[in-house]
Structure 1
Amino acid sequence: MASSDQHGASERKLVNEIIECLTSSLDVQNVMDGVFPVLAKLLSSDQAALCVSNATAPGGYDWSMVDFPLDWFSDYAQLEPHDFIKSSVMAQPNKVLIDTEMCSRRDIEANLMYRRALEVGMPVQQAMAVMLDYKTSWHAGITFYRSRRRPFSEGNRKSFQRIVPVFANALRNCKLFAEVQGRTALLDELLRLDRRETILMASPTVELERSPGASSLIARWFAPEELGRGALPLVIANALEGEIRCHGRLSVSPEIPARRRPSGVELQICVVPVPRKANHTAWAVVMREVHLVPECWHRILTPREVEVASRVALGWDNRLIADDLRCSVLTVKKHVQHILDKLGTDRRGILQRRAAEGR
């Protein structure tokens, strides 16, 4: 009786250690490196493997292995049709299976994958596995091996089956975290290259996340009294709120006036709907600083000529430019002529094209 109690206490201790490992990190490799050795003690296994595969991408296997030869699955694509473990666990997802339930001993020893294991110096003799089905485009398979002829017991199966839900949840969290990290890194890089900053909003007042430079960009372009209490400047929040109120969801980007500085820099703002889950939409407020005239023109033109050139680059006529700069049309004409002369052209259309090409 004492021996049985000691065994039970030892198993509970290992199970608690496994759960701690599974919840210690969101990096799948760190989690597997920590949990597999403990599981090996609990299940008396010699090797273990985790495979995350994408059902929509043939050959899309991501292996995490412990104590395996480096070339174990190097030619798995050719061996896959002979993988009796995979075909068996996929037929009974989330259920732990022992090798003798998958295939007869005679057929195992005639199997190409079994022979391949012997060739690379890994004499796997027994196996126990489970396929975690997440009802998504991907699933995961976990297999434990023994290199000696001692079958996994019913007790081993029950011990592993009790841990499967925790294992599945931990792996799902790691996978989702990795996907979010990947999307965020890619988005940040694209925005950085294009000088864009983004704030993702669930509503005009509820922010989900923002790119690293969004706060400083807003601070450069909006005075404190324009910010209000929410995450967005009032002019942007009002435009977004009006669109949501009128349409229930964004069908077109609301008109948000661009901001312009005398130096020829413009802040362009647009709102893009971002589908999330069914019947749920978020909105990305995308902001971009645009130099309306190439920076090299600043060395050629006077500050006032830069102001005029930036508006010519937008296609404005002389009257509109004069009204915006609060000067006469004659003054604008003189500035435009000086600009054309300095830039070596006699046509406004050419100036507009060169400005666009140089941004």
Structure 2
Amino acid sequence: MTAGTVRVLLVDDEDLVRIGLRMVLGADAAVEVVGEAADGQEALRLVASTQPDVVLMDIRMPQLDGLEALRRLRPTAPDVAVVMLTTFDTDDMVVTALREGATGFLLKNTPPADLLAAVHAAAEGRPMLSPSVTAQLIAAVSHGPDRETAQDARRRLAALTERETEVAEAVARGLSNQDIAAELFMSVGTVKTHIGHLFDKLGVDNRVQVALVVRDAAG
């Protein structure tokens, strides 16, 4: 992100959806739409050529869907924030997309102000979920992970220091860096350092994934 402008790539197979998104984002002078793609394959090419800060991508598309595009994008562009778009708040791909590294998940009928807030949040590395999507995520987690997933999560958490574990648990509770710093009596800079270590040690890309590992470990 340069000069305070958030560079956004729009990915959706429906022309009208892309037009609507472009109109909403165009109302914010701090957001620039740098490209549009109609499928995941085209999105991968455009990410490489346009270098966006944020990708708004439909999860269900022909040829190459958003979920597979996300999987392929993560190794080559780990710093690009990907916010998945869906029509249905009961989309069964929500949890999978978050585990694969999606920064957020929004309904296509999200109000314009909330959509803009989500884009800015994603550019800053903060997760953003539609309320109904958040409810679905909580419901999915409340059912508990399978045995193998829980064991893997515990193994990954065991590699953390005591302080890193405290930070991970705070992230799982949804606390901001400032809140974590105040609760654990450390500077915000130190919190950011610990979170960077969490990403490396847990093999994750964002705070949502940290939270999922902590919750999986709790079984």
Higher share in strand: 1
**Is the pair's TM-score, using the shorter chain for normalization, greater than 0.5?**
no
* Pair member with larger Rg: 1
Higher RCO structure, 1 or 2 (CA under 8 Å, sep 6+): 2
The two structures have a TM-score, normalised by structure 2, of 0.30
